[in-house]
Amino acid sequence: METPRILIADDDKKTRDFVAAFLSYKGYLVFQAFDGQDALQKIELHDVQMVVTDIMMPRVNGLEFIRQLKSVRPEIVTIAYSAFANFEMTANLLKAGAFFYMEKPFNLEELQIVVQRGLEHQALQRKSFRSRPCIKNRALLENIIGEHEKMLSLFEMVEKVASSDSTVLIQGESGTGKELVAHAIHDLSNRATGNFVALNCAAIPDELLESELFGHVKGAFTGAVATRIGRFEMADKGTLFLDEIGDMKANLQVKLLRVLQNGELEPVGAAKSKKVDVRTIAATNQNLDQMVVSKAFREDLYYRLSVIPIMLPPLRERSSDIALLLNSFLAKFNKSKQRQVQGFDKQVLEILSNYEWPGNVRELENLVECLVILKGSGLLTIQDLPDKYRGGRPAAPRSEQIVLPDSGFCLNSAVEEFENRLILQALQKSGGNKKEAAELLNLKRTTLIEKLKKKRLVPGSTPV
Ligand SMILES: Nc1ncnc2c1ncn2[C@@H]1O[C@H](COP(=O)(O)OP(=O)(O)OP(=O)(O)O)[C@@H](O)[C@H]1O
Ligand SMILES: [Mg+2]
């Protein structure tokens, strides 16, 4: 879970430091403000979810601060303390929306309990807003991070299909978590005590794939010095995960179809077939639909595999999950790499939430690992991000070189020509690959394609 962010407001530096040090030590991300006015500014800057504030402060006092804060950000939990409070003050504080009032001097352990309760209260309120569907086996799905609608439907789907023995086809871009989902389906199924066996069809040379899948008998081919069982048999009573199924060659596709249809396989070189009890999950990041149309993938096998189709959304389609993923991976790598990076500042969160993530969750996970190792401690700021994420490309041609002629000229056609030249150059650099060209121009691929259509530009024509 994301580390809770707490702001301490107190004009007395000693108390402030003391409380801040204690809460940091307890694992919260703590920020400080020296009075109510300063606090109101820092709330937005640090995106905090809780405030612990003194009452007696110059400029804007604690009560006024809570009133103002609640009128704009009612969901922020506020805890107030003071040495001088009376009944009237306490009543006013609670009326203004304070969650709790503590009298000074207070015990720090007591403060921590109140902070904890405040955060729980906030979480409950958030939950009732969202009305999450009931996911019974959340614990088993815990390592699949996501709260976006699309992920919640995915969790429901995974739960529903796990107990059936039907074949599942998981599709999605690279790095969206296909293998993770396949694992979860196995773990939630009645086969959980059996083996989960994975085979990446693209990683094994075509001529070896058949024996890898179905096994072989001794002497079946040169090099078959002993009889060996294949992945199907290893997965007997369990689950076989066939990754990158789109890379399987046509002759094997036929053999696979036969096994899926009648549960019997023939090891290479064997005279007899064997029965196996295997649930198959296949995955691919290719468009199998299209491959069926172009006859690169057998239609009958496609239908046999996709009895239950699951589509994983690319990360850019669930960007509200980005902050959650960033913080979860931060916690994970802080622990495994023994670092103490506190978190991402607001600007970094914003930049990364708007980034396209072509490599999806894998790319995000790798970035966080790298940032945690390089930074070691403190808060991650924009300076820590690699250029690619900062959008920090040099603004292409230098505008001061362009001079308006005395006679003037047509702005629209000049801009148009400028754009055409850059697009054609990007296409030339990428060897005609539109995805890469779009990346060079910091455009979405679909935007580039639209522009090409509209402008009737032909990739390959010379940018003049
Ligand atoms: N929702 C998620 N929550 C947490 N981690 C995730 C999530 N999705 C993916 N990951 C992590 O991202 C990495 C890539 O995931 P995975 O290998 O399952 O992707 P994939 O879709 O199979 O990719 P590819 O098509 O490239 O094989 C893994 O380290 C995985 O743990
Ligand atoms: Mg994979």
| 402-455 to CATH, choices 1.10.1740, 3.40.1000, 1.10.1660, 1.10.10 | 1.10.10
Q: Is the peptide bond before 105 cis (omega within 30 degrees of 0)?
A: yes
| 319-390 to CATH, choices 1.10.1060.10, 3.20.20.70, 3.40.50.300, 1.10.8.60 | 1.10.8.60
Assessment of whether the complete model's pTM goes beyond 0.75: no
Distance CA 47, CA 36 (A): 16
User: Ligand 2 centroid vs 179 CA: distance in angstroms?
Assistant: 5
Ranges for all domains in the chain classified under CATH 1.10.8.60: 319-390
Strand 168-171 and strand 100-103: the pairing is unpaired
Can you give the pLDDT at residue 75? 86
User: Ligand 1 centroid vs 208 CA: distance in angstroms?
Assistant: 27
Can you give the pLDDT at residue 127? 62
Distance CA 26, CA 142 (A): 24
**From atom 23 of ligand 1, which residue's Cα is the shortest distance away?**
175
The stretches in the chain having pLDDT less than 70 are: 1, 85, 127-140, 391-402, 458-464
User: Ligand 1 centroid vs 175 CA: distance in angstroms?
Assistant: 5
Per CATH, the homologous superfamily of domain 5-130 is Response regulator (3.40.50.2300)
Residue closest to 156 by CA, chosen among 143, 137, 173: 137
Can you give the pLDDT at residue 93? 85
Ranges for all domains in the chain classified under CATH 1.10.10: 402-455
**Pocket flag, ligand 1, residue 174 (CB < 6 Å):** yes
**Pocket flag, ligand 1, residue 146 (CB < 6 Å):** yes
Can you give the pLDDT at residue 139? 60
Task: Determine the topology of domain 138-311 in CATH.
Answer: Rossmann fold (3.40.50)
Which ligand has an atom closest to residue 180 CA?
1
**Pocket flag, ligand 1, residue 175 (CB < 6 Å):** yes
For residue 168, list its beta bridge partners: 281, 308
User: Ligand 2 centroid vs 235 CA: distance in angstroms?
Assistant: 18
**Pocket flag, ligand 1, residue 267 (CB < 6 Å):** no
